[in-house]
Amino acid sequence: MDKILFSKMQFYGYHGVFEEENRLGQKFEVDLEIFLDLKKAGETDCLENTVNYAEIYQVVEQLVTGKEKKLLESLAESIANQVLKMFPIQQVKVLVRKLQPPIPGHLESVAVEIVRGLNNNE
């Protein structure tokens, strides 16, 4: 299966369990892998035979910058469900990173990765 990759999309959101996270917000990164057949798009060079990258970006941006969620798992699930619902794709892999998690210690980020498809997204 062919795929389109979106790497390290960055957004400012208000997701987290702690009140400070919901009030102050922080940066999040999202990676997407979208699985679909790209043969016709490659042969025709027509946007109509693939998905519009800008539209997918906007969907992710709206979800990350929109209504707050407590869990990264919930945010990733929302992204996967919306992308599957709105675009003609077979499967999506979503990775959501919280770049400054409120965890005592030294770490770069914490992340959740899920894979959903037309047969396993319910």
Burial 54-84 (b: 16+ CB within 10 A, else e): eebeebbeebbeeeebeebeebbbbbbbbbb
Active-site residue, 85 included: no
| Marked catalytic residue, from 3, 39, 69, 98 | 98
Q: How far apart, in whole angstroms, are the C-alpha atoms of residue 38 and residue 3?
A: 8
Q: What amino acid positions are annotated as catalytic residues?
A: 98
